[in-house]
Structure 1
Amino acid sequence: MPSLFKHTNFVHYWIGQIASSFAFQMLTVGIGWQMYNLTNSPMALGLVGLCQFLPQLTLTLVVGHMADRYNRRLICVFSRLIMTMTVAVLAISNITDHISATIIYSCAVMLGAARAFEMPANQAILPNLVPEALLSRAMSAIASAREISVIAGPALGGLIYLLGPTTLYSTSSLCFLLSSVIMFFLHYNFVVKAKAPINMTHLLGGLRFVRNNKVILGSVSLDMFAVLLGGATALLPIVAKDILHTGPWGLGLLRCAPALGALLVSVYLSRRPLEHSVGKIMFAAVASFGVATILFGLSSTLILSLAALTLMGASDMISVVIRSTLIQIETPDDMRGRVSAANSIFIGSSNQLGEFESGVTAAWFGVIPAILIGGIGTIAVVGIWMYLFPTLVHRNRLEKDNT
Structure 2
Amino acid sequence: MSDISTPPARLLLKETDYLLFWASRWLGSFGSQIQSVAMGWTVYHLSRDQGLSIGQASFNVSLIGLITFLPLFFLALPAGETTDRYDRRRVLVLCYLVEIVAVGILVAATASGHASVNVFLGVAVLFGAARAFFSPATTALGPMLVPRELLPRAIAWNSLAWQTASIAGPAAAGFLVGLSSKVAFMVTLALYVAATLLVLVIRKNTRPVVQTGSRLELVKEGLAYVWSNRIVFGAISLDLAAVILGGATALIPAFAQDVLKVGPTGFGILRAGPAVGAAAVAFFLAARPIRTRAGIKMFLGVAAFALATIVFGLSKWMWLSVAALAVLGGADMLSVFVRQTLVQLVTPDHMRGRVGAVSSLFISASNELGEFESGVVARFLGPVGAAVFGGVGALIVTGVWAQLFPALRKADRLE
What is the match of residue 106 of structure 2?
A: 90
What is the match of residue 24 of structure 1?
A: 32
The structure 2 residue matched to 1:186, chosen from 202, 220, 242, is 202
What is the match of residue 388 of structure 2?
A: 372
The 5 A counterparts of 1:220-299 are: 220-299=236-315
Deviations 1:378-398 (A, max 9, x none): 111111001110001111111
- The residue type paired with residue 73 of structure 2 is L
Determine the C-alpha separation between the residues in 2 that align with 1:18 and 1:233.
Answer: 21
- Cα distance, 1:323 vs structure 2: 0.3
What is the match of residue 61 of structure 2?
A: 45
Determine the C-alpha separation between the residues in 2 that align with 1:321 and 1:192.
Answer: 25
Determine the C-alpha separation between the residues in 1 that align with 2:313 and 2:374.
Answer: 12
Determine the C-alpha separation between the residues in 2 that align with 1:280 and 1:105.
Answer: 40
Determine the C-alpha separation between the residues in 2 that align with 1:59 and 1:196.
Answer: 21
What is the match of residue 117 of structure 2?
A: 101
- The residue type paired with residue 115 of structure 1 is R
The 5 A counterparts of 1:62-81 are: 62-81=78-97
Bigger Cα displacement from structure 2, 127-136 vs 188-197: 188-197
- The residue type paired with residue 174 of structure 1 is A
- The residue type paired with residue 201 of structure 1 is E
Determine the C-alpha separation between the residues in 2 that align with 1:192 and 1:280.
Answer: 34
The 5 A counterparts of 1:130-149 are: 130-149=146-165
After TM superposition, where is structure 1 displaced by more than 6 Å over at least 4 residues in a row? none
Query: With structure 1 as the length reference, what TM-score do the two structures score?
Result: 0.97
Gaps spanning 5+ residues in structure 1: where? none
Pick closer, same or farther for the CA change 1:159–1:8 going to 2, 3 Å: same
Contact in 1 for aligned 2:88/2:208 (Cα 8 Å): no
- Cα distance, 1:204 vs structure 2: 2.1
What is the match of residue 367 of structure 2?
A: 351
The structure 1 residue matched to 2:137, chosen from 97, 121, 138, is 121
Contact in 2 for aligned 1:161/1:168 (Cα 8 Å): yes
Determine the C-alpha separation between the residues in 1 that align with 2:99 and 2:150.
Answer: 31
- The residue type paired with residue 14 of structure 2 is K
- Cα distance, 1:195 vs structure 2: 4.8
Q: Classify the secondary structure of the residue corresponding to 1:204.
A: helix
Contact in 2 for aligned 1:61/1:204 (Cα 8 Å): no
Aligned length: 399
What is the match of residue 301 of structure 1?
A: 317
- The residue type paired with residue 67 of structure 1 is T
Contact in 1 for aligned 2:81/2:215 (Cα 8 Å): no
Bigger Cα displacement from structure 2, 137-146 vs 368-377: 137-146
Bigger Cα displacement from structure 2, 270-279 vs 156-165: 156-165
Contact in 2 for aligned 1:136/1:321 (Cα 8 Å): no
- Cα distance, 1:196 vs structure 2: 3.1
Sequence identity (%) = 40
What is the match of residue 362 of structure 1?
A: 378
Deviations 1:6-32 (A, max 9, x none): 211111111001100000111111101
What is the match of residue 20 of structure 2?
A: 12
Contact in 1 for aligned 2:270/2:325 (Cα 8 Å): yes
Determine the C-alpha separation between the residues in 2 that align with 1:46 and 1:324.
Answer: 26
Deviations 1:119-164 (A, max 9, x none): 1011111111122222111111111111111111111111011211
